[in-house]
Structure 1
Amino acid sequence: MMTQPPFLISGDGLAIVSPASIINPDYVKGAVERLESWPLGVSVSLHCLGESGVYSGTVDERTDDFRNALHTPEVKAILCSRGGYGTVHLLDRLADDVARNPKWIIGFSDISALHALCVSRGIMSLHAPMCKHLTAEPADDRCTQYLRQILFGQIPEYHEKPHPLNRQGEGRGMLVGGNLAVLCGLIGTPYDIFRPGSVLFIEDIAEAPYKIERMLYQLKLAGRLASLSGLIVGRFTEYTENEGLGGTLYELIYRLVEEYDYPVCFDFPVGHVSDNLPLIEGAEVLFSVGKESVDLAFCIK
């Protein structure tokens, strides 16, 4: 059983924190303006705009910011300003705080580690765009609008275009996933996100195809791929195809899961792209891959 954090109402508080890398202040400013227009009461954590080497703050500072947001009653959701690297430093420190204070934690990329923490503690979270997207994209951007709708309890259904490599079928299970490199780094830890019967979504940035294949072979050899109810292959960006490996990246992934009988879709709009659909991690989903459409429905109210 997963705990669903309370949905927001107008005027609720939302805190912006930086659990990993340094953030451009202009992106935080833009996100504040967008979120206040919804309307929400937005606060910016003490070290959100800080700098400690490549991080927004020391481990203690970043932990304190996140912990304060979790323990502040007025704050109903926490938006991570950006990813980068560094979230893994906070997992053991925040595990109990997250479990005792279920709130919507929002972000993607390196924030996949926090989503894994939430799953480990039985809390739903929101894999979704962050400050840069809220600043750079127009108000009517569909991902921005879906994020707003979900936070306020209006749950969308997604109907996306098919891909030639898709394998048709239907699956049902708990939705988990995120950045592939981050998730593979958590295998064998208390924050291992791979559960039998799950619908898994994956994406990554600046990883060579052979590295992606190696990570997926790790999952295959560990039995993680065989136990899925469905696989959503998102967008992989900033890499160069290497046909010497025997095909495109998507073709390599297709062959890796060819022996399984669950539905698989490719090029789903999730990842380091502007069209990055918000996904509710920890929610039960119905996942259907057909000739004309790829459909994803969240089984929550």
Structure 2
Amino acid sequence: MQGHVLGVGTDHPFAEEIRRAGYSVTTTDHPAHTSPGRRVLRQVVSAFRPDVIHIHTERRYLQTVFSVRKVDRRVPVVRTIHNVFDAHGRWFASRLLQALIGDRALSALIVPSPDVARNEKRFGRDPQVIFNWVEDRFFELAGSRSGAGPDTTGPVVLVGNCSRIKSHGVALEAALLGNLRVAHIGSEEHAEPAERAILDRLQRNGLLVARGVADPADALLAGRVFAMPSRHEGMPVALAEALVVGMPAVVADVPGLRWATGEPGVVALASRDPAVWLDALRGVAVSVSAPTIDFRARRGTAEYAAVYRAAVERR
């Protein structure tokens, strides 16, 4: 099975990385619903003659579906919704209308967690859940971590780019309050000023053992507990990586993270009080068993391949 990626937008930061992974990539600055965008889409479809077109966009979803249908009415269309979109008011009405019209053109609608599925039921949808997966190397890291034994002095690990939604400040303030060491892996470009201030204080106090964009492997091997205080998610791969490696985790009790509450070593907190988070970070189990969900790539890709085959057979 081969794939071709059409990247639509003004910035394509992962294009070269995707090419290095072995995929062919076309990029365009023109939205798919515009005449220039449809022209690029038509060129791609004519050149590669796809069996299935897989849409990942949330923005202008309905226009994108219409554009695909204008280019080729026969090709099956699959869509994945990646996040919990807490739509209200006009946004809710817009998403509902797009679901009622656009979903008629779909052969399958996929989501990465039961939390996203529950949210989409608000819009009359009944999507199929296919959990995200992690690289195979994280399963190898699990063996290394298990062999070395848990480090009770390891840092609190946060993985992800700073943003209002990620809300890293809750866990960072808890760590500062308790003099806990921290590994913060991710970009601070969109960090709140308060978050940067806490990171700076942790660094001055000698408590920040890693900071910035990096491979999370070393932090996950050395860390004692993983923290994710997000306001909402979809199905974060970073959390799945931590669970696969064998880290306990403290997460916010929010949509997009609740699927993990039944996994070994996961504690979910409704409170955003740093003192409550500190108690939880200190109190988690040191050693946890493997997750009950199969996060291997071969499982996820096989489930998607089955969706594609079924779409083609129904055509």
Judging by fraction of residues, say which structure has more strand.
1
The answer to whether the superposition gives a TM-score over 0.5 is no
Judging by fraction of residues, say which structure has more helix.
2
Larger relative CO (CA 8 A, sep 6+): 1 or 2?
1
Q: TM-score band, normalised by the shorter chain?
A: 0.3 to 0.5
Q: Give the TM-score normalised by structure 2.
A: 0.33
Higher-Rg structure is 2
